[in-house]
Amino acid sequence: MSYNLAQLLAEKNAMIEKGHFAGANEKFYADNTRTVDFTGMNTNGKADHTQKMKDFIGSIAKVNKVTFHRSVVGEGVTFSEFTFDFDMKDGSKIYWHEIIMSVWEDGLVVFEQYFLA
């Protein structure tokens, strides 16, 4: 199956910037995807990642702004830079400047790691 990694990444980044986190998860992550978060949370498999994503989304009171800054496409790997600004239901605020490294196979993310920038 042929795919254009730059095009896939652009679509994924656009969904994330619009706050469609769960949709991007469903569309772009392989069933066997693994993630590593700077907070120490890891996921194994799309179902695990989807549940953690739903839990996190459920804890957001307000998405103030999601800003996409730039991305880089390599051979089977991409990097995207975002700023996330959330008000949380517990009254706290989250402001993350984040780099997302994604490893792709057959047009789907099989590994992703999140770094604070």
Report the predicted TM-score, pTM, of the whole model to 2 decimal places.
0.92
CA distance 38 to 35: 10
Would you list the domain boundaries of the chain? 5-116
What residue has token string 């008000």?
Answer: 87
DSSP state of 75: S
Q: In whole angstroms, how far apart are CA 54 and each of 36, 73, 74, 96?
A: 16, 28, 29, 18
* Mean pLDDT, each 10-residue run in order, the chain (117 residues): 87 95 94 94 93 93 97 97 98 97 97 95
Q: Please determine, looking at this structure, whether the domain spanning 5-116 carries the CATH number 3.10.450.50.
A: yes
Tell me what pLDDT residue 2 has.
64
